[in-house]
Structure 1
Amino acid sequence: MNLSIVIPLLNEEESLNELHQWIVAVMTTNSYSYELIFIDDGSTDSSWQKIQLLATTNPNVKGIRFLHNYGKSQALHAGFAKAQGEVIITMDADLQDSPEEIPELYNMIMGKGLDLVSGWKKKRYDSVIAKNMPSKLFNWAARKTSGVKLHDFNCGLKAYKNTVVKNIEVSGEMHRYIPVLAKNAGFANIGEKVVVHQARKYGSTKFGMERFINGFLDLITIWFISRFGKRPMHLFGALGVLMFIIGLFAATYIGFIKLYKLYNHEPTILVTDNPWFYIALTTMIIGTQLFLAGFLGEIILRTKNNEERYKISESL
């Protein structure tokens, strides 16, 4: 099978028929063998009924329905697990991503040997203040932090080799950072393609300004996981030892001054009246806690089980 097209959605009943027809036209024109996987992330409208109807008329259509809204990352995770194509395409269901881009994305993966190709919505039809400016700031921070030189991390239109999606773990709200996850997994051959961004035709966006706040928090998380996710002791242990050594030096200094004054019969104060005593006590306690945090992190990392992050109600 050439292509698996994975489409997460939430309350997109108005766009599904048009999107399906558009994708089928592109697949037919290019003679691709394909599967079209819709993941209904807990829609409250008739989206799932539309998917069921499409599946009865087109055997290439498959569907997954979540019990309730778990988020785009979980939807993509379920879609990736089901996908069987040589190349996996992800796109949004709101008709803002054009299926006409799929052939070139496919050729960039199969012809140029890229592991992943990310879309770049160079010209956007979103609000400048509400989306464009925050998005540019977010993408700049993501490039600097991750080292992945993409212009548009948020673009839902991407193409992957099958081996990439089968070897990365998309959880939480990490769908923005799949290229970073892929790079960390050893798939560093990442390309970018300018894609057409279209104005939303039906309904309204499901993402508010909070997605940028969450995005920056996730960026910090993925930076930490990239650097220390497999070796938390390297961070917490190092900081703990450093803090403990500072406290130990402070305590040694207090003891030395105390003994020196006693030896020379000079007046002394109580150890607890010396501010260095509290510096020593605090830093040694913090150092011990940080070291234990690293130790516990190592234990958790070695004993964790893969927990179920979503529940599927129906599957086609």
Structure 2
Amino acid sequence: MSTTEESVIRLAETADPVELSLVVPLFNEEESVGPLIEQIVASMSGYAERWELILVDDGSTDATILKARASLARPDLELRIVELQRNFGQTAAMQAGITHARGRLIATLDGDLQNDPKDIPLMVAELVRRELDLLVGWRQNRQDGLVLRKIPSWIANRLIGRITGVRLHDYGCSLKVYRASVIKQVKLMGEMHRFIPAWVAGVVPSSRIGEMPVTHHARQHGVSKYGISRTFRVILDLLAVMFFMRFRARPGHFFGSLGLGLGALSGLILFYLAVDKFIFGNDIGTRPLLMVGIMLFLSSVQLITTGILSELITRTETDASTYIVRTVHEKDG
């Protein structure tokens, strides 16, 4: 754990309790960050508990960080800005915000004004009422392109639900509310933010994960960071999720099963060739099947040893961060 993160934890232990932390990753959203802060403050004006806003600048190359820092002096806003050293991606930025959050509850939303902050108090109340650990927003009336966003998202949501067993209509909605004690048990890596409900289902029963309809707006400024190529990354990430959910604690079973299967097939092939050679006297030296049997045997050995190494790795604790914080901006400078 880094020195910055240790100081955040110590601060969380001594400060007055924060009920809700709002985490917003930002990347080149200079036109959106000002209106976003205004909407958040207006939407949270009736919230009775103490709350904070955490903006995570994910290595923006425009004036996003400067415009965000302009709101640090606002008396009606408890704001902290986590500035990352470079662009690490939305998942890492979200992880950074969650790590620095001090609230008992954590809400996440995008910084492009497509999520509506007015839904946050309603979602918080719904999560508490239903005694959930995670409440996911459901964009029933999405304001996105049909081909580039809606159809790939529709396919991905059904694939994810079928493979993970967590049935939701909208995995990709960034507007979510969590219990901090639960989401901080989940380490987000790669581009796995869209699979957060599946990761949360690894630490709590799926019955404690719910969804509710939320408002969705068309993008007002800038350009979308997503395209059709994201569909292929989702498929690869989905395979990784399936592996981790089923074999994270026992990767040796996955690789070992494949290795034993190939080894058995190799044994049958080599046994057949041995019988053909020594019983029937046929020449097998130039037969392609001999090479296939040898390659299957070598693959079997490799997979079994990979499984053993994977078991060793899973038993080795690691705390490598997926991001580097340049600095944290607060009101006191």
Which range, TM-score by smaller chain?
A: over 0.9
User: In the alignment, which of 86, 107, 114 is matched to residue 68 of structure 1?
Assistant: 86
Residue correspondence of structure 1 range 198-213 to structure 2 within 5 A: 198-213=217-232
Aligned to 1:239: 258
Q: Percent identity?
A: 34
Query: Is there any run of 5+ residues in structure 2 with no aligned partner, and where?
Result: 1-17
2:38 maps to a residue whose letter is: Q
Which structure: greater helix fraction? 1
Aligned to 2:295: 282
Displacement of 1:274: 4.2
Displacement of 1:187: 4.5
Displacement of 1:136: 0.8
Number of positions where the alignment pairs a residue of Structure 1 with one of Structure 2: 310
Say yes or no: does 1:57 pair with 2:74.
yes
Do the aligned residues in 2 keep the contact of 1:115 with 1:187 (CA within 8 Å)? no
Secondary structure in 1 matching 2:73 = helix
Summarize deviations over 1:179-214 as a string: whole Å, max 9, x none: 000001225211001111111122221222222221
Question: TM-score under structure 2 normalisation?
Answer: 0.89
Question: TM-score under structure 1 normalisation?
Answer: 0.93
RMSD over equivalenced CA pairs, Å: 1.5
Secondary structure in 2 matching 1:12 = coil
Residue correspondence of structure 1 range 1-316 to structure 2 within 5 A: 1-58=18-75, 60-188=78-206, 189-261=208-280, 268-303=281-316, 305-316=318-329
Do the aligned residues in 1 keep the contact of 2:44 with 2:118 (CA within 8 Å)? no
Query: Is there any run of 5+ residues in structure 1 with no aligned partner, and where?
Result: 262-267
Do the aligned residues in 2 keep the contact of 1:27 with 1:33 (CA within 8 Å)? no
Q: How many angstroms apart in 2 are the aligned matches of 1:121 and 1:184?
A: 24
Secondary structure in 1 matching 2:150 = helix
Task: Return the index of the structure with the highest Cα Rg.
Answer: 1
Q: How many angstroms apart in 1 are the aligned matches of 2:220 and 2:268?
A: 66
Do the aligned residues in 2 keep the contact of 1:92 with 1:157 (CA within 8 Å)? yes
Q: How many angstroms apart in 1 are the aligned matches of 2:314 and 2:212?
A: 37
Secondary structure in 1 matching 2:103 = coil
1:284 maps to a residue whose letter is: F
Displacement of 1:79: 0.6
Do the aligned residues in 1 keep the contact of 2:58 with 2:87 (CA within 8 Å)? yes
Q: How many angstroms apart in 1 are the aligned matches of 2:277 and 2:222?
A: 75
Greater displacement, 303-312 / 270-279? 270-279
Aligned to 2:13: none
2:166 maps to a residue whose letter is: V
Q: How many angstroms apart in 1 are the aligned matches of 2:288 and 2:220?
A: 66
Q: How many angstroms apart in 2 are the aligned matches of 1:21 and 1:83?
A: 20
Q: How many angstroms apart in 1 are the aligned matches of 2:321 and 2:146?
A: 38
